[in-house]
Chain A
Amino acid sequence: MIAGKLVDLRAPEMGDLARNTRWINDREVTQFLSVRYELSSAAEEAWLRDVVSAPMSFERPFFAIETKDGAHIGNTNLFDVRPEDRVAEMGIMIGEKPYWSRGYGSDAVRTLLRFAFDEMNLHRVQLFTYSFNHRAIAAYRKCGFVEEGRRRGARYRQGRHHDFIVMAVLRDEWRLRPDA
């Protein structure tokens, strides 16, 4: 278990299945994710079984986010981890909407960054987010992410194309922060 201030990151378990399936089919949640299509519980189960049955490793760090009271509220992960470049991309979902905008997501991001930089020895963590997801962009900035670019019209959601914002944080920059 990796301890943050408001949340802990733990390995995913099969017991997470019902919540994951509910979140991934909640359009209010997925409007901000790359998920577009509905997902059956069988498909979600097959995916989760695959994730939980291998020991977590450098290639696929995937965590459940729990509050200090043990409530599972979302997931966060690193993917496309490239050992030569020491770069990874991160994703996060707070599926339990009552926990939105209360610092849980930011704390999970900070905790994941600390693990990525101090344990996995990565040098850069990057992410993409929709230009309309102002809350997420502000939160990522607070966590040390810098906007590096704007992929014009790269994603189509809800009737039109949106820019996809490129953000990243480098370990050298992050180490200078008080929350590092």
Chain B
Amino acid sequence: MIAGKLVNLRAREFGDAERNARWSSDRELLALTGHRYPQSLAAIKPAVRGYASEPLSHADPRFAIETKDGVYIGNIRLSDVSSDDRHAQLSIMIGERSYWSKRYGSDAVRTLLRFAFREMNLHRVELYVYATNARAIAAYQKCGFVQEGIRRRAYYSRGVWVDVIVMSALACEWSEEAR
């Protein structure tokens, strides 16, 4: 378990599947995370079983986000981890809506960044966020992410094309004390 201030990051477990299926039917959440199609519990179960059966490693670090009370509220992961470049992409979803805008997400991002820089020895963590998701962009900036570019009209959702913002945090800029 990796401890943050408001949340802990733990390995994914088989039992996560039911909540994941519920989150997967939330249309607003899907639009924010780019997961267009709702997934059945039958489809989610083998996927969760797959990564919960493998020891967590440098190649595919996936975590469940739990509050200090043990409530499972979302997922966070690093993907496309490049060992040579020491670089990875971060994605996060707070599935439990009652925990939105209460800093749980930011704390999870900070906790994962600390792990990425101080334990995995990555040099750069990047993410992509839709330009319409102002709340997320502000939160990422607070966590030390810098905007690096705008992929114009790269995402189509709810009938319109949306710009995709490229952001990253570099280990050499990041200081835990300042956050």
Residues of A at under 8 Å CB distance from B? 36, 84-87, 123-124, 126, 146, 148-156, 161, 166, 168, 170
Q: What is the bound-complex CA distance between A58 and B179, given in angstroms?
A: 45
Q: Are B86 and A168 closer than 8 Å at their CB atoms?
A: no
Q: Are A150 and B153 closer than 8 Å at their CB atoms?
A: no
Residues of B at under 8 Å CB distance from A? 36, 84-87, 123-124, 126, 146, 148-156, 161, 166, 168, 170
Q: What is the bound-complex CA distance between A123 and B151, given in angstroms?
A: 13
| Extra pairs beyond A84-B156, A126-B151 (7, CB < 8 Å) | A87-B155, A146-B152, A148-B151, A149-B149, A152-B148, A153-B87, A168-B154
CB-CB < 8 A to B146: which residues of A? 152
Q: Which residue of B lies closest to A166 (CB)?
A: B149
Most buried by B among A84, A86, A146: A84
Q: What is the bound-complex CA distance between A117 and B52, given in angstroms?
A: 42
Q: Are A148 and B152 closer than 8 Å at their CB atoms?
A: yes
Q: A148-B150, A149-B151 are in contact. Are A123 and B166 (CB under 8 A)?
A: no
Q: Are B126 and A151 closer than 8 Å at their CB atoms?
A: yes
A86, A123, A146, A152: which contacts B124 (Cβ < 8 A)? A152
Q: Which residue of B lies closest to A148 (CB)?
A: B149
Q: What is the bound-complex CA distance between A34 and B38, given in angstroms?
A: 34
A36, A86, A123, A152: which contacts B170 (Cβ < 8 A)? A152
- Interface of chain A: mostly helix, strand, loop or mixed: strand
B84, B126, B151, B153: which contacts A156 (Cβ < 8 A)? B84
Q: What is the bound-complex CA distance between A156 and B155, given in angstroms?
A: 28
Q: What is the bound-complex CA distance between A126 and B152, given in angstroms?
A: 10
Q: Are A156 and B85 closer than 8 Å at their CB atoms?
A: yes
- Interface of chain B: mostly helix, strand, loop or mixed: strand
Q: What is the bound-complex CA distance between A170 and B161, given in angstroms?
A: 12
CB-CB < 8 A to B153: which residues of A? 123-124, 170
Q: Are A152 and B168 closer than 8 Å at their CB atoms?
A: yes
21 A-B pairs within 8 Å (CB atoms) are namely A85-B155, A85-B161, A123-B153, A126-B151, A148-B150, A149-B150, A149-B166, A150-B148, A151-B126, A153-B124, A153-B170, A154-B85, A154-B87, A154-B126, A154-B168, A155-B87, A161-B85, A161-B123, A166-B149, A166-B166, A168-B152
CB-CB < 8 A to B154: which residues of A? 85, 87, 124, 126, 168
Closest chain A CB from B172 CB (angstroms): 9
CB-CB < 8 A to A123: which residues of B? 153, 161
Q: What is the bound-complex CA distance between A154 and B171, given in angstroms?
A: 12
Q: Are A150 and B149 closer than 8 Å at their CB atoms?
A: yes
Closest chain B CB from A24 CB (angstroms): 17
CB-CB < 8 A to B84: which residues of A? 36, 156
Most buried by A among B87, B126, B149: B149
CB-CB < 8 A to A87: which residues of B? 154-155
Q: Which residue of B lies closest to A36 (CB)?
A: B84
Q: Are A153 and B123 closer than 8 Å at their CB atoms?
A: yes
CB-CB < 8 A to B87: which residues of A? 153-156
Q: Which residue of B lies closest to A171 (CB)?
A: B153
